[in-house]
Amino acid sequence: MRVKICGITNLEQGNAIAQLGATELGFICVPASPRYLEVSAIKTIIQQLPQQVNTIGVFANLDLNAIVTIVSETGLTGVQLHGNESPEFCQQLRTLLSPQVELIKALRIKTNASLAKVIDYAQSVNTLLLDAYDPQLLGGTGHTLNWKELTQWTSPLPWFLAGGLTPDNILVALSQLQPHGIDLSSGVELAPGNKDLNKVTQLFHQLDSIKGKSSSFI
């Protein structure tokens, strides 16, 4: 199973989290976020990370050319769109990005109607990410989704589960759902952008405890 730790802001923590087992590290490219990093800082970190870890830039309502430029300058391996980007926007971006760059669309799920919109993106992105809805924040809210409602949902694409995940509740979430990946940010932090390596370690201990016991752990 893919494990994405989002909101990386410094090399030391990024390296440590990659060594603990993260398959993806997320970098926030949204200036309003307390986890925001300048393009030059993202590039510097990525250049010194282990090659096997994927690096995902998180964008919200930024124009196409700006996203493509940042990906080119930093060496990001993936783009996560966390704003109000339409399927048409995603399709345009898909054609501009290298085929090797993964395109992830994050959807903030408020009601079952929000889930119904997922199918609109099935032809324009590689991967989906389901996050909790908050009227003020685009992500990193610490709120969880209604996992019980999601048990009745079938994704048309590989997907990440996000929204309020922590080392304390991850096993409960994975006992109910079978995502292809999980995404954590505030649930493994001391403060926004400052990761708690003890919590990250605890997370991987929890995940190790279910390896081989469940077909959902892939």
pLDDT beyond 80 at 142: no
Mean pLDDT is lowest, of 1-10, 134-143, 166-175, 179-188, for: 134-143
**Residue-number span of the structural domain to which 21 is assigned:** 2-210
pLDDT at position 134 is 57
Bridge-based pairing of strands 24-28 and 189-191 is: unpaired
pLDDT at position 218 is 39
Taking every pair of Cα atoms in the chain, the longest distance, rounded to a whole number of angstroms, is 45
pLDDT at position 183 is 97
Residue 218 lies in a domain: no
Query: Rounded to whole angstroms, how far apart are CA atoms 86 and 81?
Result: 10
Residue 149 lies in a domain: yes
Average pLDDT, the chain: 91
Which pTM value belongs to this model? 0.92
CATH number at residue 71: 3.20.20.70
**What does the pLDDT average to over 174-183?**
96
Residue 117 lies in a domain: yes
141 contact partners, CB below 8 Å, separation of at least 6? 131, 132, 134, 163, 164, 186
The pLDDT tens digits for 94-139 are 999 999 999 999 998 876 777 888 999 999 999 999 998 554 455 4
Q: How far is CA 59 from CA 1, 54, 79, 91, 149, in A?
A: 24, 16, 7, 15, 27
145 pLDDT band, cuts 50/70/90, is: confident
pLDDT beyond 70 at 141: no
> What are φ and ψ of residue 25, in 5° steps?
-120, 135
Residue 163 lies in a domain: yes
Q: How far is CA 212 from CA 113, 148, 176, 208, in A?
A: 35, 24, 16, 9
Residue 18 lies in a domain: yes
**What does the pLDDT average to over 61-69?**
97
Query: Rounded to whole angstroms, how far apart are CA atoms 36 and 58?
Result: 9
- What is the total count of domains within the chain? 1
pLDDT at position 116 is 84
Element (H, E) at 181: strand 181-184
The pLDDT tens digits for 182-218 are 999 999 999 999 999 999 999 999 999 987 554 444 3
143 pLDDT band, cuts 50/70/90, is: confident
77 contact partners, CB below 8 Å, separation of at least 6? 54, 55, 56, 100, 101, 102
pLDDT beyond 50 at 41: yes
**What does the pLDDT average to over 170-192?**
96
pLDDT at position 148 is 87
Residue 215 lies in a domain: no
Element (H, E) at 67: helix 64-74
Residue 80 lies in a domain: yes
Closest CA relative to residue 210, chosen from 173, 185, 163? 173
